[in-house]
Amino acid sequence: MHTLYDSDTYSVTHMLANAVVADAAAQASGERVDLVLLVPVLARHGFEIVDKRSGKEVYLDGSWAELFQQHISAWQQKTPTQEEVEDTLEQYAGLAQNPVLVH
């Protein structure tokens, strides 16, 4: 889990796939990786966007995550202003339906 963006209005977190993380952790520690345990895990990543104003969040995975990744790649090529980033996040925040809950 990596926080990519955090402002007064939005927070963006990149969620990494569990299978990749478990495999990397096992390799780093020199442990034997039991592939049977990793096979059932769906190795996908996604992005959580929290609209702090509304208290709602949206999780992007699959094609939505790929589209959002394209925005991130474009931002890496040409550094956007905070207003440009927030305008893009506002479009995605329109999809937010889930209230943010603290665990």
**Entry pTM:** 0.71
Can you say whether the dihedral through the CA atoms of 65, 96, 5, 25 is positive or negative? negative
**What is the residue whose two structure tokens read 């479009």?**
91
CA 66 to chain centre: 11
Q: 36-67, pLDDT tens digit by residue?
A: 444 445 557 899 999 999 999 999 998 899 99
Q: Distance between CA atoms of 17 and 39, rounded to whole angstroms? A: 12
Burial class (CB in 10 A: 0-12, 13-18, 19+), 66: exposed
Decide if pLDDT at 30 tops 50: yes
DSSP 8-state class, residue 57: E
Structure tokens at 62: 């699959």
